[in-house]
Structure 1
């Protein structure tokens, strides 16, 4: 195998550290496994018609430039997100006969494909023409098989994986001192975009309820992009001094917040996989999450605690349960160890490389 051309509409930059960081992590893991990877990616998360036209035009030029420069050296392309990234892989297959695999991350199937008939048609075409489809969770794989007629033997259920050399348990007392956090507070943590679909409003409502019932100091830390300013501003009545909000941060900093927290909470309305929940588990932090999408699969055997989505009361009840239950009783360590073994980034990198090799050699089923 010569070069792998990774095409993604999300990729981090110095200004936007968490934007598509999971794609960059996989690229680096592939390079560490001696795979020659070239990347053409959009690293600009700004929205609005003018910004969208400018950033996608710039990205398209980069894809085209690298496609023409390396077309004889590229063995396979790997598109992250079916649309729009998969359009480029589809075109390169038609123009240069280069096979491709595509990773569906959830939002591309759940939201993007439903925006218009045209996007849905492109989504179907891209999935049908791919050598393989990688779905980050089994619920997503079922949806792709059912809604788009992709044979199950061409779908690999495979998360982006967690780097367990980076995300691992730490000394809570030491880390809290480093982060200037109260020793005696019970800390809940959320990591993700501060948007409605992530259940941040329900989280804040639930936290305020827990505060009323708790007989000890509690804090809520929210880490993530706050680009949706109108939504963030709408949360102000639920904010107080016990809610700490930070922007995205580098992963070597983020892991400290996982280690310093008592419970990680992810109350999403929908979730293709829920990689941040996996990072929390790897860091030794118990997880509460919505019973949706990939989170259902990830946590169903006891690796975390599932609650009904969009239900602040159910969420508050489980958050209070975590507060009043000793960690060793609240956490099923055996289930956590099993899920971490399955989703170890090193193992997943090996699986992705085997998939590339099969596609390059003309394989059409797993």
Structure 2
């Protein structure tokens, strides 16, 4: 195998640290395994019709210029997100007979494919023409199989994995000292885009209920991008001095917040996998999450605690349960260790490389 062209509509930059960071993490892991990777990615999260046209035009130019320059050396392309990234892989296969695999992350199947018949048709074509499809969770894999008629044997269920060299346990007091957090504070942590679909509004309502039900000093820390200004305006009345909003962080800084917090909460409405929940588990931080998508298979063995989505009362009840239960009982180490072994980034990188080799040889078995 010569070179791998990774195509992604999300990729971090110095201005947008968390935008598609999971793709960069996998690229770095592949390079560590001596895979020659070329990246053609969009690193601009700007929204709006004009911005979208401009950034995607620039991205398309980058993809095709790199592909033309290296086409004789590219053995395979790997598209992250079926649409729009997969469109480029599809076109390159038709133009230069370069095979490709595609990773479905959830939003591309759950939301994007349902936006229009045209996008659904593109999604169908891209999945059908791929050598292999990676689904980051079992629910997503089942959707791809049933809704798009993709043979089960061509779908690999494989998360993006967690880098346990970065996300690991440490002394909580030390982490809190570094971040300036008081020892007596009980910290609930959320990490992700601050948007409606992530359940941030329910989280804020639930947190208010927790505050009314306890005399303990509780705080909520929300780390993530706040690009949806209309949503931010709508939740502003729920944000007070006990809620701390933090811009996206580099992973070496983000891990400190996981390590310093008492509980991680991810109340998403939909979630292809929920990598941040896995990162929390790796730091020894208990997890509360919605019973949706990939979060179910990730946490149902006891590695975390599941609640019904879009239900602030149920979420508040579980947040209080965590507050009133000793951590050694609430965080089930054996279940967590089992999940971490399955989703270790090093092992997943080996599986992805195996998939590349199979596709280059023209194989379809997983």
Q: TM-score, normalised by structure 1?
A: 1.00
CA distance in 1, matches of 2:75, 2:237: 54
Aligned to 1:13: 13
CA contact (8 A) 2:93 2:100 kept: yes
| 2:140 aligned with 1:140 | yes
The corresponding residue for 1:222 is 222
1:316 shift after superposition = 0.1
Residue 159 (structure 2) pairs with residue 159 (structure 1) = yes
Separation (CA, whole Å) in 1 of partners of 2:12 and 2:239: 29
Give the aligned partner of residue 105 of structure 1: 105
Deviation at 1:215, TM superposition (A): 2.0
User: Matched residue of 1:78: which SS?
Assistant: strand
Partner of 2:274: 274
2:111 counterpart of 1:119: no
Q: Alignment partner of 1:219: what SS?
A: strand
Q: Does residue 149 of structure 1 match 2:113?
A: no
What does 1:3-42 correspond to in 2, within 5 Å?
3-42=3-42
User: Given that residues 82 and 103 in structure 2 are in contact (C-alpha distance below 8 angstroms), is that contact kept between their aligned partners in structure 1?
Assistant: yes
Aligned to 1:292: 292
Unaligned runs of 5+ in 1: none
Q: Residue 94 of structure 2 corresponds to which residue in structure 1?
A: 94
SS at match of 1:358: helix
**Structure 1 residue 365: deviation in Å?**
2.1
Aligned residue for 2:323?
A: 323
What's 1:305 paired with? Answer: 305
State the alpha-carbon separation in 2 of the partners of residues 329 and 63 from structure 1. 50
Q: Residues of 2 paired with 1:31 and 1:191: CA distance? A: 27
SS class of match (2:211) = helix
Paired positions, count: 366
Deviation at 1:318, TM superposition (A): 0.1
After superposing on structure 2, the runs of 4+ consecutive aligned residues of structure 1 that deviate more than 3 Å are none
> Hey, what does 1:181 align to over in structure 2?
181
In 2, Cα distance between equivalents of 1:177 and 1:233 = 32
1:69 aligns with 2:44: no
Any gaps of 5 or more consecutive residues in structure 2?
A: none
TM-score (normalizing by structure 2): 1.00
Q: Deviations over 1:96-134 (max 9, x none)?
A: 000000000000000000000000000000000000000
What is the distance in 1 between the residues matched to 2:89 and 2:116? 21
Determine if the alignment matches structure 1 residue 49 to structure 2 residue 87.
Answer: no
Aligned to 2:232: 232
Q: Give the equivalent residue in structure 2 for 1:243.
A: 243
Q: Distance in 1 between matches of 2:306 and 2:355?
A: 32
Mapped to 1, the partners of 2:239 and 2:9 lie a distance apart of 33
